[in-house]
Amino acid sequence: MQLKMTNLKSIINTAALFLFTAIVTSVHAQQVVVTDSTAINDRVQVEKDTVKPFEKFKVDGVAAVVGDFVVLESDIDKMYIELQSQGVSIKDVTNCNLAGRLLENKLYAHHAVQDSLVVSDAEIGAEVDQQLAYMTQQVGSLEKVLEFYKKDNEAEFRAELFEINKQNRLASNMQRKIVDAVEITPEEVREFFTNISEEERPVFGDEVEVAQIVVKPEIPQEEKQRIIDRLNEMREDVIENDASFNTKAVLYSQDPGSKSSGGKISLSRTDPFVKEFKDAAFSLQEGEISKPFKTEFGYHILTVDKIRGQQVDVRHILLIPDVTEETKNEARELIGNVRDRIRNDEITFAAAAREVSDEKETRESGGKLVNPTTGDTRFELTKIDPLLYEQVVNLEEGEVSLVLTDQDNTGRPFYKIITVLNRYPEHQANYAQDYNKIKDLALRDKQLKAIEKWQKEKIKETYVKVNGDYRECEYTSNWLKK
């Protein structure tokens, strides 16, 4: 790793840096940047994992070579500029830092290939499609995208994005393989904690445990049928009159992510789409159009553009049924009555949640929320979602909030009440009370050490050549093999 761990604070910071690298391939399309090139186009014939290449090649503009991959000087320049454009502080970032990071990435990618870790070209191609669609939507046209990235044509840009994404996926898979093999025992957690001096033990901020009851307005059956009928009309128009599915998606679909591209989505069976959507996508032949089907987002019709092995390109139209003022009033009245019953001690908050809450994820646990970051039920107030913070910061333990209005992922309103189950004041780490947090820190520490050990071993056995001024850098890893 490029940062050495010297105390608990650096464990936390380094872990965050490592995790950023480890999940690079899961970055959303809007965060994609072109920062480096990948495999050597005219690949140099190098004996596998030896210290001498069989064939010399021109190194002008090549900052380094790691196995079968190169780091170009222009890659480092692009990475620096991109950090600036994203608003990242570059005050203490040097070209040596960036070169070290790219060297690591190449090392992971090289050994992913050596270990035969599989990366699906179809999945990478779909990822490129989504990236280009998003970029085009952001700037207005593909021509502007190509101009921004100084590319002569779409094919050239697609090829570069494909290689970048594929290498990043290889590197990520290699890192994941290393850390997934790391496990931690309770004894190791205890040893980790006892080895932290008291003055270096972390302080955990004020925390709360929160529960909520959600009541959603019902969607009238007439509204559902209206949406289904409208989708059937569109389907029949495409089938019988050869109308454009693409145009209808642009004009009428309520899916903001695919509307501008004519409803186009590429997916595989392992992608995180809802089951109903995947079932429809993989049950049709090319050119077929589904009948209307329901998901948690609304009602869809879907057509298959192309089947590419385990990958399928589809277009869909989403229409979202709405609630009425009457059903909103009914939901608001119901949750108001529930709040009164709780405050009058007629029913506990947990029992009321199990009785009336429409939030299936929390209903059976009495409405108790789970922190998506840590996986436990505590929320640190300084790191909590701002909206939830506003709702709980002034509540006492056991107090029930006023009826609050929120929105689901389709924009429809729902109503909820919140209570604070427990408050935990700011405190220094306690082994018994904070075991899960300490276990997480201990596991990260062990994972980082595993990465460092792997990297040290692989640098020794891999062909690495660093050129020019980059030989003057002070790397924490032994890239110069001194």
CATH number of the domain enclosing 169:
1.10.4030.10
For residue 65, the model assigns a pLDDT of 95
Contacts of 389 (CB under 8 A, 6+ apart): 381
Are both 18 and 132 inside the same structural domain? yes
Are both 277 and 226 inside the same structural domain? yes
Contacts of 437 (CB under 8 A, 6+ apart): 204, 374, 429
Confidence of residue 85 (pLDDT cuts 50, 70, 90): low
101 assigned to some structural domain? yes
Average pLDDT over residues 148-169: 88
Are both 219 and 274 inside the same structural domain? yes
Average pLDDT over residues 6-13: 41
Task: Inform me whether the pLDDT recorded for 76 exceeds 90.
Answer: no
Are both 421 and 446 inside the same structural domain? no
Are both 351 and 237 inside the same structural domain? yes
Average pLDDT over residues 244-257: 93
Are both 129 and 276 inside the same structural domain? no
16 assigned to some structural domain? yes
Are both 23 and 106 inside the same structural domain? yes
For residue 225, the model assigns a pLDDT of 97
For residue 268, the model assigns a pLDDT of 83
Are both 298 and 265 inside the same structural domain? yes
94 assigned to some structural domain? yes
Are both 144 and 228 inside the same structural domain? no
Q: Are strands 464-466 and 62-66 parallel, antiparallel or unpaired?
A: antiparallel
Are both 81 and 46 inside the same structural domain? yes
List beta partners, residue 427.
204
Task: Inform me whether the pLDDT recorded for 59 exceeds 70.
Answer: no
Read off the pLDDT of residues 361-376 as tens digits, 9 standing for 90 and up. Answer: 999 999 999 988 888 8
Domain that includes residue 166, residue range = 8-186+442-472
Read off the pLDDT of residues 428-459 as tens digits, 9 standing for 90 and up. Answer: 999 988 898 899 999 999 999 999 999 999 99
Average pLDDT over residues 287-301: 95
Its pTM stands at: 0.62
Domains contained in the chain, number:
2
Are both 373 and 244 inside the same structural domain? yes
Query: Hey, is 380 helix, strand or coil?
Result: strand
Name the residue with higher pLDDT: 345 or 26: 345
For residue 22, the model assigns a pLDDT of 39
CATH number of the domain enclosing 351:
3.10.50.40
65 assigned to some structural domain? yes
For residue 36, the model assigns a pLDDT of 36
45 assigned to some structural domain? yes
434 assigned to some structural domain? no
Is the distance from CB of 301 to CB of 234 less than 8 angstroms?
yes
350 assigned to some structural domain? yes
Confidence of residue 243 (pLDDT cuts 50, 70, 90): very high
Are both 175 and 121 inside the same structural domain? yes
Alpha helices, DSSP H, located in 312-462: 325-343, 349-356, 360-363, 386-392, 435-461
For residue 176, the model assigns a pLDDT of 94
Q: What is the mean pLDDT of the chain?
A: 85
Q: For a pLDDT cut of 70, what percent of the chain falls above it?
A: 87
**What gap in Å lies between CA 346 and CA 352, rounded to an integer?**
10
